Chain A
Amino acid sequence: MNRHLISAADLTRDDALLILDTADELARVSDRPIKKLPTLRGRTVVNLFFEDSTRTRISFEAAAKRLSADVINFSAKGSSVAKGESLKDTALTLEAMGADAVVIRHSASGAPQRLAGWVRGTVVNAGDGAHEHPTQALLDAFTIRRKFGRSSGPAPEGRLPGSRPSGGTALDGLRVTIVGDVLHSRVARSNAWLLTTLGAEVTLVAPPTLLPVAVGTWPCSVSYDLDAALPKSDVVMMLRVQQERMTDAYFPSVREYSRRYGLDAARMAQLPEQAIVMHPGPMNRGVEIAAEVADSARSTIVEQVTNGVSVRMAVLYLLLGGAEAQS
């Protein structure tokens, strides 16, 4: 894979498996008394956040710090961006400060791609508009793999402890249903591509008004009926209703949306026994997901946050840890 991580669609199956296997090993560091590795000592990672974010920014910061990188946090509020500085000028300023990697969150789709053309360092997309959020998709894939016992966990019986880890398998045959506001969701797009690359069968369920026009070009099937999809799902991923991005009336009322597309306890009961419920956060409890579902044993919402640090460590290590690519 290339020097940047802009889109989950750029990842080959081997790239994705390498990231997930690496994250499996790095997750074990979190269980140690000293949760730190010296690998990125002396390298600088800039978190460039033009949009509000709690978990993604903190997660990237924790990941970079566990690898001993220096972290500079930049948020648009209180910076020269508020005075009208352009993305390009901001990027060049960071470049002049010696940033080896820029982790960017921006409300404009394509901003990370532009940035990658302006800076010498590595660019990691931490969410751009309604386009992509590749590390979220990677941590979701990581969580699914662990939940279904496909990660490179303890070496199988008969294998040597510590010999090359067996390497986890992909997600072949797992049925993933992504439900809700697909139109505004970068998480849905990144997951649709990545999970399909890894062999899962992805189904989108949403009201017709909340599906993008070009959804036909996505590598997944589409349904409008949540109750029909649930019994055939190993994974249900609930999306946040992004009211802050809604400039139009996409559904009659929150209550009606919740009744048709929200996951409550009765709907959860239709899921197969082993199925899990995911949500990228932040949740609108009572809208797309009922509180009792979010707090149930099937919910992986807290694990997703924990896994995010390991996956982002893996991405930063693989992009920054070795020699610079020749391209």
Chain B
Amino acid sequence: MHAVDPARGDPGAPAGKVVFEPDEIRRALTRIAHEILERTDGAADVVLLGIPTRGVPLARRLADRIEQVEGRPVPHGSLDITMYRDDLRLRPARALGRTDVPPGGIDGMVVVLVDDVLYSGRSVRAALDALNDLGRPRAVQLAVLIDRGHRELPVRPDYIGKNLPTSKQEVVRVLLAEVDGEDAVILGRAAARPERGRPDGPREPAGSDT
């Protein structure tokens, strides 16, 4: 079956240059939380859905920050896009992530999709298809920690932690304490094929080039 277990990916020593320090990640998320509050009039009907793997802890951090400001919890969860990807046939079958929609559902809500890296835009397209099967949100917005450019689809983020100009030969790795034990964004050179050497394995690579 050749499925790839992302947990077995070898984090190794992240080679490359740290382009985003833990403090900067913290400040960027705080700013995004405030932008979400402003754009959605207090986030009254917002649902934050993270795209596994690293979008999920980011969505939770954003929910925590909004709660600190507004004093009430914000529903958050995860949206696995594996079964909706357009490149399934290009690689061995992947293990699935978890889709956890908060109990209130997404009908009529403003869904903010949260991902670590925006690259081609294909993950976001898959996420929109997955959402379509879960319900009908009033609006869908997109928050990303890193926008590295090179879009292949007409996708534009609403909230950006950092614009990071890259070449296609480079690899962006986002490390988060919940998954990797530390916070950092690292810009490195692709060693061989871009699938290799990512700390999270091929399914939903860190700095997902997706």
- Residues of A bordering B, CB below 8 Å: 1, 15, 18-19, 21-22, 25-26, 28, 32-34, 36-39, 155, 160-165, 167, 317-319, 321-323, 325
| B90, closest chain A residue (CB) | A323
Task: Indicate whether A322 sits within 8 Å of B129 (C-beta atoms), given known contacts A25-B98, A161-B77, A164-B98.
Answer: no
Which residue in A26, A161, A163, A318 is a CB contact (below 8 Å) of B93?
Answer: A318
Docked complex: B69-85 residues within 8 A CB-CB of A: 76-80, 83-84
Asked if residues A164 and B6 are in contact (CB atoms below 8 Å), the reply is yes
Task: Indicate whether A165 sits within 8 Å of B1 (C-beta atoms), given known contacts A160-B178, A323-B92.
Answer: no
Asked if residues B6 and A322 are in contact (CB atoms below 8 Å), the reply is no
Task: Indicate whether A21 sits within 8 Å of B95 (C-beta atoms), given known contacts A162-B78, A162-B80.
Answer: yes
Asked if residues A38 and B84 are in contact (CB atoms below 8 Å), the reply is yes
Contact residues of A: prevailing secondary structure: loop
Asked if residues B133 and A34 are in contact (CB atoms below 8 Å), the reply is yes
Asked if residues A18 and B95 are in contact (CB atoms below 8 Å), the reply is yes
Asked if residues A161 and B78 are in contact (CB atoms below 8 Å), the reply is yes
Asked if residues A163 and B56 are in contact (CB atoms below 8 Å), the reply is yes
Closest CB-CB distance, B12 to chain A, in whole Å?
Answer: 18
Closest CB-CB distance, A31 to chain B, in whole Å?
Answer: 10
Which residue in B50, B79, B96 is a CB contact (below 8 Å) of A22?
Answer: B96
Question: Beyond A1-B1, A165-B98: 17 further Cβ-contacts under 8 Å?
Answer: A18-B1, A21-B95, A28-B99, A38-B84, A160-B78, A160-B178, A161-B56, A161-B60, A161-B100, A162-B50, A162-B98, A163-B52, A164-B6, A164-B98, A167-B7, A322-B89, A323-B89
Closest CB-CB distance, B131 to chain A, in whole Å?
Answer: 11
Asked if residues A18 and B5 are in contact (CB atoms below 8 Å), the reply is yes
Inside 8 A of A319's CB, which chain B residues have their CB?
Answer: 1, 93
Once bound together, how far apart are the Cα atoms of A317 and B50, in whole Å?
24
Task: Indicate whether A162 sits within 8 Å of B2 (C-beta atoms), given known contacts A22-B95, A321-B93, A322-B89.
Answer: no
Inside 8 A of A1's CB, which chain B residues have their CB?
Answer: 1-2
Closest CB-CB distance, B77 to chain A, in whole Å?
Answer: 6
Could you show 16 A-B contacts with beta carbons less than 8 Å apart? A18-B1, A25-B96, A33-B135, A37-B133, A39-B88, A163-B179, A164-B53, A165-B98, A317-B83, A318-B3, A318-B93, A321-B93, A322-B88, A322-B92, A322-B94, A323-B2
B134 at the interface (CB under 8 A from A): yes
Once bound together, how far apart are the Cα atoms of A26 and B95, in whole Å?
11
Inside 8 A of B134's CB, which chain A residues have their CB?
Answer: 32, 34
Closest CB-CB distance, B25 to chain A, in whole Å?
Answer: 17
Closest CB-CB distance, A40 to chain B, in whole Å?
Answer: 9
B161 at the interface (CB under 8 A from A): no
Asked if residues B97 and A321 are in contact (CB atoms below 8 Å), the reply is no
Asked if residues A164 and B129 are in contact (CB atoms below 8 Å), the reply is no
Asked if residues B52 and A322 are in contact (CB atoms below 8 Å), the reply is no
Closest CB-CB distance, B78 to chain A, in whole Å?
Answer: 2
Inside 8 A of A317's CB, which chain B residues have their CB?
Answer: 83, 93
Once bound together, how far apart are the Cα atoms of A124 and B100, in whole Å?
31
| B91, closest chain A residue (CB) | A323
Once bound together, how far apart are the Cα atoms of A321 and B179, in whole Å?
27
Once bound together, how far apart are the Cα atoms of A322 and B1, in whole Å?
8
Closest CB-CB distance, A309 to chain B, in whole Å?
Answer: 15
Shortest 4 CB-CB distances between A and B: which pairs? A162-B78, A322-B93, A25-B96, A318-B1
